[in-house]
Chains A and B, each alone.
Chain A
Amino acid sequence: AQSVAQPEDQVNVAEGNPLTVKCTYSVSGNPYLFWYVQYPNRGLQFLLKYITGDNLVKGSYGFEAEFNKSQTSFHLKKPSALVSDSALYFCAVRDSGSARQLTFGSGTQLTVLP
């Protein structure tokens, strides 16, 4: 079975500081990993995904994520946070071998303080 965990319900960071939103996963095959962002009263917007290749994936709005196979992690990062980055972030995983469904984490609320 596939699963994904976002260990922090809430992350606060000061504007201009680097931010990290954590995600760990469990799959039996190869993982395909996704990050989405949700602004209040809106649908989910795709940020980036890891399929294969370089462990550092670059996405929209200056976000990037680092795939670490040994630690089964896919943390979302941004070098300098903006107040407008405040939103709910979801990590999702699909197992290459066994499942067609995308499994989402419970979400992390990011607040960037001015």
Chain B
Amino acid sequence: NAGVTQTPKFQVLKTGQSMTLQCAQDMNHNSMYWYRQDPGMGLRLIYYSASEGTTDKGEVPNGYNVSRLNKREFSLRLESAAPSQTSVYFCASSEAVADTDTQYFGPGTRLTVL
């Protein structure tokens, strides 16, 4: 039982390049999330998917797109990377988007945009 896995662990991009961050969970959770973590700012929600086939914007969605490929997988795409998107990205999952549900996090992807 691996929990939440993310690939890649590290990535360096040039401004304007595109890439997709992959996330998968094996806990049969319905809801999945993408966050970014910046120093001194905690975690900020980019997008989430309450269930398979649905996605919604979070606090900071600009410059990102997501795809809920199936119940297990939720990907985050940067179409044209900018230096402001340099950050650590975390994927999380929970049984449902319920107020009381605990979110479980992956190990993160450290992205640098030059």
Q: Is the CB of A106 within 8 A of B90?
A: no
Stretch of B14-22, B65-73, B94-102 on the interface side: B94-102
Of all chain B residues, the one with the shortest Cβ separation from A29 is B99
Q: Is the CB of B42 within 8 A of A105?
A: yes
The answer to whether the Cβ of B7 comes within 8 Å of any Cβ in the partner chain is no
A51 to B102: give the CA distance in the assembly, Å: 11
The answer to whether the Cβ of A94 comes within 8 Å of any Cβ in the partner chain is yes
Nearest Cβ on chain A to B6's Cβ, whole angstroms: 8
A109 to B58: give the CA distance in the assembly, Å: 26
The answer to whether the Cβ of A101 comes within 8 Å of any Cβ in the partner chain is yes
By secondary structure, the A interface counts as loop
Chain B residues, Cβ within 8 Å of A101: 45, 48, 58-59
Chain A residues, Cβ within 8 Å of B45: 101-102
For chain B, give the interface size range.
Answer: 20 to 34
The answer to whether the Cβ of A49 comes within 8 Å of any Cβ in the partner chain is yes
A102 to B44: give the CA distance in the assembly, Å: 9
Which of A43, A96, A105 meets B90, CB within 8 Å? A43
Would you list 24 pairs from A and B whose C-beta atoms are within 8 A, ordered by A residue? A32-B100, A34-B102, A36-B105, A42-B108, A43-B4, A43-B90, A43-B106, A43-B107, A44-B90, A44-B105, A45-B105, A46-B104, A49-B100, A51-B100, A90-B43, A94-B99, A96-B99, A100-B48, A100-B99, A101-B59, A102-B103, A104-B44, A106-B41, A107-B40
A98 to B97: give the CA distance in the assembly, Å: 13
